[in-house]
Amino acid sequence: MRVGAHVSIAGGIDNAVPRQVEVGGNCGQIFTTSPQVWAQPEIDEEEARRFREGTREKLDGPWVIHSSYLVNLCTPKDDLREKSVASMQAELDAATLLDIEFVNVHLGAHTGAGVEGGLENAAAALDALDVPEDVTVLIESDAGSGTKLGGEFEHLARVLEASEQDLDVCVDTAHVFAAGYDLSTPDGVRETIEEFDDVVGLEHLRCIHLNDSKHARGTNKDEHAHVGEGLIGIEGMETVINHPDLADVPLVLETPTEDGKSYEWNIDRVRELRE
């Protein structure tokens, strides 16, 4: 079972490896730089070497790089598109340096361009990237608030179809639930996975952000809860964790650190729920 958490790179990117081991993870996710500003990753070769070697020795993988929160692939604004493409290209180059397989990104918001225009913008922005052969861009599902796209499986499928890149998908359980798909019951989970397979294709599902939700289904509110303690609940999370079609998909937690419960608590909970 591949399960891990989004860990900090404070003090050097190679520190992510022992932090992942400390919380009991065997795969995981990082930011390469602050996700709140337009900053390029600054990784020296020695740090990268220690990261690569530590990963090979202590983890099963994969790692995922999560792109900056400022990236907006759907934007109709030329300057924001240019910054978004440059930021994504830097993440892809960092992934190659670190031997990381996936770079994860949200589609962003169309901000008035409309759904069709936003999805076309996203595909065009992705096509402007020079994606290394050993790296795959993952489009992440979204909670769908405002003009943000990616809340519907159809949005993901249309970008995969429209883009010339070989793209895959990361599904966030809290986002999917907030966007209106039912993950709170065994039947709901099965129906949601079947719909994803029909619309996108399970062959494109390469990572799951396994998070419970603090808000009800269909609210479009993105706030994560501890595994089994949110509105998805223990029954829904257990069904996701044990669904046979998801057995080999890496699970990455972005759960909160509060109420005395850490990443380690949540990873232990996931393993306890795995039958």
| Statement: residue 62 has pLDDT above 90 | yes
Q: What is the pLDDT of residue 275?
A: 85
Q: What is the pLDDT of residue 261?
A: 95
> Would you list the domain boundaries of the chain?
3-273
| Percent of residues, the chain, with pLDDT higher than 70 | 100
- By DSSP bridging, strand 108-109 and strand 148-149 are antiparallel
| Statement: residue 30 has pLDDT above 90 | yes
The CATH code that applies to domain 3-273 is 3.20.20.150
| Statement: residue 233 has pLDDT above 90 | yes
pLDDT digits (tens, 9 = 90+) for 169-204: 999 999 999 999 999 999 999 999 999 999 999 999
Q: What mean pLDDT value characterizes the chain? A: 97
For residues 222 and 174, the answer to whether their CB atoms sit within 8 Å is yes
- Whole-model pTM above 0.75? yes
Average pLDDT, integer, range 239-254: 98
Confidence tier at 228 by pLDDT (50, 70, 90):
very high
